[in-house]
A = this chain, B = another copy of it.
């Protein structure tokens, strides 16, 4: 398999975690988002959505959208499972993942922050407040969801799931933008538990070949 991605992209990071948890080898193909390589003709010919990540399967199919890719990997390489065995558990894990991937990250990714500054002429300070507002709001929502679940090492249960694949990159991103992470003990305990695993260490931005520090 081949993964087109960018070291700092949260959505790319999610898929790198899933690949590492499953022990699947892949070719790492960097697409420099800040330089706009995702909008270049070469990448547009590969990826219909012009975003990272894009996973190219061994059969040559190009898959997009990180959560869809992770579900595909989980279906085609079931061990270790990234979703619980029962429908209720899967719904809870997907809801946690989507609380991050649909409520926090879309508001705070590079192209949106660029639009705020370039088109809406907001100040750097207001951009930072925007980031932290949606990030904190979404993480508090996750914390309330976690509070209703049985005690667990990771977000849901005793093994990492799709929810952890989404949480960990979001915490990395939150710290880059100085988001307040106080008062989220269960969330941060799950983060810390994940970061003790080699798969999360291998997938993090600083371990990527295109890492710029």
Contact = CB atoms under 8 A, between A and B. Distances in A.
Contacts of A91: 63, 68-69, 71-72
B133 A115 contact: yes
Interface in A93-111: 94-95, 98-99, 101-103, 105-107
* A contact face: mostly helix, strand, loop, or mixed: helix
Interface in A108-144: 112, 115-116, 119-120, 122, 126, 129-130, 133, 141, 144
Contacts of A197: none
Interface of A: 48-51, 57, 61, 63-65, 67-69, 71-72, 75-76, 87-88, 90-92, 94-95, 98-99, 101-103, 105-107, 112, 115-116, 119-120, 122, 126, 129-130, 133, 141, 144-145, 147-148
A84 to B, nearest CB: 12
A90 B75 contact: yes
A172 to B, nearest CB: 18
Nearest to A106: B106
Contact of A95 (B57, B64, B115): B64
Contact of A94 (B67, B88, B107): B67
Contacts of A116: 120
Contacts of A50: 141, 144
